[in-house]
A and B are shown apart, each in its own frame.
Chain A
Amino acid sequence: DAGITQSPRHKVTETGTPVTLRCHQTENHRYMYWYRQDPGHGLRLIHYSYGVKDTDKGEVSDGYSVSRSKTEDFLLTLESATSSQTSVYFCAISDERINYEQYFGPGTRLTVT
């Protein structure tokens, strides 16, 4: 299995509070991605990174920001959590040297009350 960890694995927070989710990899892959998974929607890309300090928006980026100061860490921040952001969040990594195959972390279940 690819070395990807996510923390925390579960979190309950209140509306309006900031939340940061962490993705950590030990594979030294260049590309990292944040998805959210909701019933009936599959996985939707929030943000992605193609290198240290290089990030871009995905299809559902509103209300989220990201940062990548080191190759191994990719942080997702919900600046002011809302109930619509209750979801399961997955991090993935890929490497252009293996045709961008994506490998996924175990996920973080976030509940916003």
Chain B
Amino acid sequence: AQSVTQPDIHITVSEGASLELRCNYSYGATPYLFWYVQSPGQGLQLLLKYFSGDTLVQGIKGFEAEFKRSQSSFNLRKPSVHWSDAAEYFCAVGGSSNTGKLIFGQGTTLQVKP
């Protein structure tokens, strides 16, 4: 069955420290991979996406993610976290079907310490 796992429910990092949020997926076909961010009380905003090509993708707000097919992973990284990055982050996977359906992970809540 198709699934997405975000192993870390909650992560706390100090402002200025580096960040890596983990995402593992199970998907039979070539996946489309996404990271979304949700600030408190807000909808989801697309951070970045991977469809094909270069496995290191750049997104908004200084985020990047690397697709590793051999590890079925799509981890999100940022070299230096800002207090405004505190939010919930969701990894999602979909395929090139004609429905565009996505499967979401459970989410990781990021807390940033001053």
Contact = CB atoms under 8 A, between A and B. Distances in A.
Interface of A: 31, 33, 35, 40-45, 48, 50, 56, 58, 90, 92, 94, 96, 99-107
A43 B43 CA distance: 11
Interface residues of B, number: 26
Contact of B101 (A45, A99, A105, A106): A45
Contact of A43 (B42, B90, B99): B90
A96 B42 CA distance: 25
A101 B44 contact: no
B106 A31 contact: no
Given A101-B49, A105-B43, A33 B101 contact: yes
Interface string B20-31: 000000000000
Interface string B87-109: 00010101010111110111100
A107 B43 CA distance: 6
A103 B92 CA distance: 13
B43 A96 contact: no
B46 A103 contact: yes
Given A48-B99, A96-B98, A99-B51, 5 more contacts: A40-B106, A50-B99, A99-B32, A101-B49, A104-B44
Given A43-B90, A104-B43, A105-B43, A96 B100 contact: yes
A36 B36 CA distance: 16
B38 to A, nearest CB: 9
A31 B99 contact: yes
Contacts of B90: 42-43
20 contacts: A33-B100, A35-B104, A42-B4, A42-B6, A42-B105, A42-B107, A45-B101, A45-B102, A48-B100, A48-B101, A50-B99, A56-B99, A90-B43, A90-B44, A99-B32, A99-B96, A101-B46, A102-B34, A102-B100, A105-B43
